[in-house]
Amino acid sequence: MAAKMNQKIRWGYMGAGRIAGWFATGMSVLEDAERYAIASRTMEKAEKFAKEYGFTNAYGSYEEMLLDPDVDIVYVATPVAEHYRCVKMCLEAGKNVLCEKALTVNAAQAKELVDMAREKNLFFMEAAWSKCHPVFLKVKEWIDSGLLGEIQGMDVRFYTLAGEGHRLYKRELAGGALLDLGFYPVMYACAFLGKTPKQVLSHTIIGEKNVDYLDSIILEYEGGKFAHLSCGLGSEKMVSAYILGTKGRIAFQDEFFFQATKATAYDFDNHVLATFEGPFLKNGYEFEAMEAMECLRAGKKESEKVPLDETVAIMKILDTCRGNAGFKYDFEEI
């Protein structure tokens, strides 16, 4: 059923970790969003989170929150390895879902969840926050309108330094660079060059914690178009994105392209073709919440900004990269 226009949408969060706090902070500026329930594996943590971020209800288990009929949509904020199980629980309980990226560990899991949501007629969206940002949408509009001519190539990278003991180093939580960091360059390439490259070439270096520390990827598209993508753990932050068209380029140099609030397109004589500023209302997470709520109010089961088929296509590319490296998580049955 579509959410009523005049009612606040009641959010239930699954997992009281770092991103859940950031998302709650972003949501704090949205008057039509109610920070209704937080579910943690421990009651103490749930209560602490509820107090800190202004939630009405705290639950000491995920299952308990799903029994609450007043939760309109669940935000799944657990580690990637847990997404499949958590989303499945939500859908089985008849809840709409916004799930953190990467949607699942592999494309088979993602496809199964997408099919399940469609079959149950529930709203389902990957929390690919960047795709809801004003700058991302403007860049997409520029590209779609031909401002840069035809896109020929992209170079996108995301390296970061995660502290000792971080979940990114934990194989049992689907750690590694690719699913967490590599998601962004692949998502970016799929958005601007297409979700079905002709070929996916990659090389992966597995580090001492037995997860991928470095992934170097080439997506080859028809007509010699390419995306050269890389991600890595354990080095200083190194983040950039270049989009090269036949008439011009957009560059995010030494900056987080996936959370940019400004963009400028240049021609090859360095003349400005277009420029745009799209500030955040809070911290950038508010836009994906707005998108999910807009869909719920309109009775839509899928976001046009974050299409589920594109989400599955991204997972397929990530699968191919891991397949090329022979890297499979121990718990991967499906």
Among residues 3 and 211, whose Cβ is nearest to ligand NAP?
211
Binding part of the chain for ligand NAP, among 10-18, 139-147, 270-278, 315-323 by CB under 6 A, reads 10-18
Work out whether 117 is an interface residue with ligand NAP (CB under 6 A).
Answer: no
What number of H helices and E strands is found in the chain? 10, 14
Nearer to ligand NAP, 148 or 289 (CB): 289
CB 13 within 8 A of CB 45: no
- Residue 264 is given by DSSP the state E
Q: In the complex with ligand NAP, which residue's Cβ is closer, 248 or 311? A: 311
Q: Are 103 and 41 in contact (CB under 8 A)?
A: no
Three-state secondary structure along 194-238? Answer: CCCCCEEEEEEEECCCCCEEEEEEEEECHHHCEEEEEEEECCCCE
Within positions 23 to 52, which residues make up the interface with ligand NAP, using CB under 6 A? 40-41, 45
Extended beta strands in 15-92, E state: 33-39, 57-59, 73-76
Closest Cα partner for 44 from 56, 55, 59? 59
- Active-site residue flag, 140: no
- For residue 19, the minimal CB distance to ligand NAP (Å) is 3
Residues 162-191, one symbol each (x = binds ligand NAP by CB under 6 A, - = not), give -----x-----x------x-----------
Check residue 80 for interaction with ligand NAP (CB under 6 A). Answer: yes
Give the per-residue contact string, 273-302, with ligand NAP (x = CB under 6 A; - = no).
------------------------------
Q: How far is the CB of 20 from ligand NAP (least distance, A)?
A: 6
Distance CA 317, CA 101 (A): 14
- Considering only residues 53, 55, 129, 252, which one is a binding residue for ligand NAP as defined by CB under 6 A? 129
Which entry of 101, 138, 195, 305 is annotated as an active-site residue?
101
- Closest residue (Cβ) to ligand NAP? 17
Count residues binding ligand NAP (CB under 6 A): 20
Burial of 296 (0-12, 13-18, 19+ CB in 10 A): buried
For residue 79, state whether it binds ligand NAP (rule: CB under 6 A).
yes
Least separation in angstroms between CB 226 and ligand NAP: 26
Instruction: Look up residue 52 and give its amino acid.
Output: E
221 neighbors 129 (Cβ within 8 angstroms): no
Three-class SS state of 153: strand
- Single-letter amino acid code for the residue at 44: E
Task: Give the residue numbers annotated as catalytic, written as ranges.
Answer: 101
Binding site for ligand NAP (CB under 6 A): 15-19, 40-41, 45, 77-80, 82, 100-101, 127, 129, 167, 173, 180
